[in-house]
């Protein structure tokens, strides 16, 4: 089964071709145009998707050595995301589905992050604990089977990635903040500033990152101007902040793992690219945990994760009757939150 998948929910224009669950190509165009605004501008994102989508699709097909006629299934992110941006990928995918008379599969972006951990041979086995940490969401869940997810906790305020982005902005480092904080942190001392780490309470799996963000703001404001520009001081703040956020995530995951007696853990979403997070969780493998974190090209938004989710939806018969063309209008109404997760 050859799958052509699209991701256009935010500022990545992406297309991928898969042969079942194997990635044949994975093309991502990151819209760096937004960087100068310090965040994603929705209208610009939509226009950039319009400009780039066909080029990205052609490249995905040619890298996979496939022709559009070889495609058996087409898939696109349907929600959550920026409404204008979603509509471009969705309608492009639906048009291909209609013109080739092949099924169209709508994919929830958060589920796509979760199933990005199924790429390759080291797939999680059920049940597993899933931590999704992206720019828009922080979700801890227990996954009992394909598309049987029980949400244990979400963020009460900022998502983990959002906290990285906001702190980078406070420190004047630029956008997107996560990779920059990660880079600065490698030169910093993580013990230099004590930012609060959320306390663990039994059965309480929600997250909150706005407290850490405010502490960074207060600390930074207390510095004199020369210190604010000192790279070593900035690196120390980044390392200390990064440690607090990742430790909060780590503690909750370990707590859930103990409570449900599950040592299979899958971590996905943009923040799972973070080097401190990867080291911290991968070390657990020494104590019998199975840790699944996608390789670096699959943490941040991409279309391969949309393709693999579509593959698992298809083979598990999820929503199958909706693939019929007469139902295309009804499928994939973009939604603004993670109600379908
Ligand atoms: O999953 P993603 O690409 O988009 C959403 O679905 O939101 O995640 C983007 C987020 C951004 O907030 C970005 O700063 C963060 O992931 N991120 C990182 C790293 N790379 C990306 N955060 C921490 N460390 C990184 N290395
Ligand atoms: Zn994402």
Residue whose C-alpha is closest to residue 268's, from 120, 76, 118, 159 = 118
Q: Is the pLDDT of residue 336 over 60?
A: no
Q: Ligand 1 pocket test: pick from 109, 116, 161, 280 the residue with the most ligand atoms within 8 Å of its Cβ.
A: 161
Q: Is the pLDDT of residue 89 over 70?
A: yes
Q: Is the pLDDT of residue 284 over 90?
A: yes
What pLDDT is attached to residue 74? 96
Distances 118 to 28, 141, 245, 314 between C-alpha atoms, Å = 19, 16, 25, 15
Give the CA angle between residues 95, 45, 179 to the nearest 5°. 120
Confidence of residue 332 (pLDDT cuts 50, 70, 90): low
- DSSP reduced 3-state for 198: coil
259 phi and psi, to 5 degrees?
Answer: -60, -40
Q: Is the pLDDT of residue 212 over 80?
A: yes
Please list, residue by residue across 14-53, b when 16 or more beta carbons sit within 10 angstroms of its beta carbon and e when fewer do: bbbbbbebebbbbbbbebeebeeeeebbeebbbbbbeebb
Pocket lining for ligand 1, CB < 6 angstroms? 10, 134-136, 161-162, 164-165, 176-179, 182, 269-271, 273-274, 300-301
CA of 109 to the centre of ligand 2 (A): 6
What pLDDT is attached to residue 330? 59
Token digits of residue 325: 């063309």
Token digits of residue 192: 């230099």
On whether the CB atoms of residues 6 and 76 are closer than 8 A, the answer is yes
Q: Is the pLDDT of residue 117 over 60?
A: yes
Q: Is the pLDDT of residue 21 over 80?
A: yes
Strand ranges of the sheet holding 104-108, from the earlier edge strand across to the other edge: 22-30, 12-19, 2-7, 73-79, 104-108
Token digits of residue 39: 């965040």
- Crossing angle of helices 177-185/231-260, nearest 10°? 100
HSE-up (13 A, CA, CB side) for residue 306: 39
Confidence of residue 331 (pLDDT cuts 50, 70, 90): low
**Average pLDDT score over residue span 269-277:** 98
Confidence of residue 277 (pLDDT cuts 50, 70, 90): very high
Confidence of residue 340 (pLDDT cuts 50, 70, 90): low
What pLDDT is attached to residue 197? 80
Q: How far apart are the first and last CA of the chain?
A: 25
What pLDDT is attached to residue 92? 96
Share the mean pLDDT of the chain: 92
Cβ atoms < 10 Å from Cβ of 247: 17
What pLDDT is attached to residue 328? 61
Question: CB within 5 A of ion ligand 2: which residues?
Answer: 134, 301
**Average pLDDT score over residue span 286-292:** 97
CA of 123 to the centre of ligand 1 (A): 22
Q: Is the pLDDT of residue 292 over 70?
A: yes
**Average pLDDT score over residue span 304-316:** 96
What pLDDT is attached to residue 338? 52
Confidence of residue 35 (pLDDT cuts 50, 70, 90): confident
CA of 158 to the centre of ligand 1 (A): 13
Give the CA angle between residues 117, 312, 266 to the nearest 5°. 20
What pLDDT is attached to residue 200? 74
Q: Hey, which bits of 20-173 come out as E strands?
A: 22-30, 73-79, 104-108, 128-133, 138-145, 148-154
Which is the closest atom of ligand 1 to the Cα of 9? 6
What pLDDT is attached to residue 337? 52
**Average pLDDT score over residue span 63-82:** 96
What pLDDT is attached to residue 339? 52
Q: Which ligand is nearest to the CA of 34?
A: 1
**Average pLDDT score over residue span 143-168:** 94
Token digits of residue 245: 């956020």
What pLDDT is attached to residue 85? 96
């Amino acid at each position: 089964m050859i799958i052509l998948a699209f991701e256009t929910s935010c500022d990545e224009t992406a297309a991928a071709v898969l042969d079942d669950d194997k990635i044949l190509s994975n093309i991502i165009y990151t819209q760096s145009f937004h960087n100068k605004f310090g965040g994603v501008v929705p209208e610009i994102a939509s226009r950039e998707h319009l400009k780039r989508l066909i080029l990205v699709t052609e490249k995905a097909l040619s890298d996979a050595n496939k022709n559009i006629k070889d495609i058996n299934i087409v898939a696109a992110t349907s929600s959550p995301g920026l409404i204008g941006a979603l509509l471009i990928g969705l309608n492009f995918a639906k048009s291909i589905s209609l013109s080739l008379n092949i099924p169209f599969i709508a994919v929830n972006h958060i589920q796509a992050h979760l199933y990005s951990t199924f790429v390759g041979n080291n797939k999680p086995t059920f049940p597993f604990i899933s931590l999704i940490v992206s720019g828009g969401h922080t979700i801890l869940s227990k996954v009992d089977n394909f598309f049987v997810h029980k949400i244990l906790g979400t963020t009460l305020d900022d998502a983990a990635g959002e906290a990285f982005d906001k702190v980078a902005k406070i420190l004047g480092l630029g956008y997107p903040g996560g990779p920059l904080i990660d880079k600065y942190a490698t030169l910093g001392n993580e013990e230099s500033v004590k930012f609060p780490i959320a306390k663990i309470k039994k059965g309480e799996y929600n997250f909150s990152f706005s407290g850490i963000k405010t502490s960074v703001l207060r600390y930074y404001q207390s510095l004199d101007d020369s210190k604010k520009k000192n790279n070593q001081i900035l690196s120390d703040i980044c390392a200390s902040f990064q440690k607090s956020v990742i430790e909060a995530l780590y503690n909750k995951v370990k707590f859930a793992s103990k409570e449900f007696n599950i040592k299979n853990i899958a971590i996905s979403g943009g923040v799972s690219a973070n080097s401190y997070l990867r080291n911290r969780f991968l070390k657990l493998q020494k104590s019998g945990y199975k840790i699944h974190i996608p390789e670096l090209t699959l943490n941040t938004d991409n279309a391969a994760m949309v393709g693999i989710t579509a593959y698992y939806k298809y083979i598990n018969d999820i929503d199958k009757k909706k693939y019929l063309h007469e139902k295309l209008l009804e499928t994939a109404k973009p939604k603004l939150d993670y109600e379908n997760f």
